[in-house]
Amino acid sequence: MSRSWSTTTPSKDIGTTGTPAKGCAAPYLENSHSMDCVFCHLIRDDSARWIARDQSTCAFAPRMPIAPGHTLVIPTAHITDIFDAEPSVLAASMVLVRRVADGMRSALGAQGVNILNASGPGSEQSVPHLHFHVIPRWGNDNFTTWPAGRSQHQIDDDPVRLSAMGTAPPVDGGSAHRRAQE
Ligand SMILES: [Zn+2]
């Protein structure tokens, strides 16, 4: 396996609290990282505080958590957003989201979790590397992650009908949908 990054200079951009968690530091190296991406920097430099890592996904603590235990789950390879992600990547990411959520319940005593993702330039996505926020919740946390308002965007048609028309058939990687469009 070839190593494609150095471990000398930790990223100063985002999300690190210093020394990687013991036992979570073994990097899985791929050549699919973006040189400009802060999350890819974390992986290349092994400079995040890792909560879990496997071949295709990792979970780490953000620099500025909005709740105790707030965690980000990302694919190891640079994938911009859900529109860029193969079903296998999405599945692996959700499996790790579930593991993190289980840990929040068992280790932090969380009574639930919120899972947040932003994908695409109109979505307030802050880092263009697919990521899922997993936010532990407690009944007494005096906190909400739900939007306070409603979208002001207007569509001059039935958005439910249009969404149904535009939604690809599930499973098989969308190939049936692609065939249908050919
Ligand atoms: Zn990246």
- CA atoms of 24 and 11, how far apart (whole Å): 18
Beta strands in the chain (DSSP E): 50-53, 57-60, 71-75, 112-116, 132-137
Compute, in angstroms, the gap from residue 42 CA to the centroid of ligand 1: 9
15-29, 94-108, 158-172: which has the minimum mean pLDDT? 15-29
Closest listed residue to residue 5, CA positions, set 45, 50, 58, 65 = 45
127 Cα–ligand 1 center, Å: 8
Within 10 Å of residue 72's Cβ, how many Cβ atoms? 24
pLDDT at 172: 59
If pLDDT is split at 50, 70 and 90, which confidence band does 118 have? Answer: very high
User: How far does residue 58's CA lie from ligand 1's centre (Å)?
Assistant: 12
The alpha carbon of 128 and the centre of ligand 1 are apart by a number of angstroms equal to 7
pLDDT in tens, 135-164: 999 999 999 999 889 999 999 999 999 998
User: What integer pLDDT is reported at residue 8 of this predicted model?
Assistant: 31
CA angle 118/46/128 to nearest 5° reads 20
- Number of structural domains the chain divides into: 1
> 174 in a domain, yes or no?
no
Is residue 158 a part of any domain in this protein?
Answer: no
Domain coverage including residue 120: 38-145
Residue 11 within any structural domain of the chain? no
Look up the pTM and report it: 0.76
User: Ligand 1 centre and the CA of 37: distance in Å?
Assistant: 4
Q: Has residue 10 been placed in a domain?
A: no
Residue 84 falls inside a structural domain: yes
Residue 165 lies in a domain: no
CA 117 / ligand 1 centre spacing (Å) = 15
Structural contact between residues 139 and 111, judged by C-beta atoms closer than 8 angstroms: yes
- CA 117, distance to chain mean position in Å, is 7
Examine residue 7 and state whether it is found in any structural domain, yes or no: no
At 74, is the secondary structure helix, strand, or coil? strand
The more confident residue out of 15 and 169 is: 169
Ligand 1 midpoint to CA 156 (Å):
37
Where residue 64 sits, what CATH number does that domain have?
Answer: 3.30.428.10
Assign 173 to helix, strand or coil: helix
Report the Cα–Cα distance between both ends of the chain, in Å, rounded: 39
In a domain, 179, yes or no: no
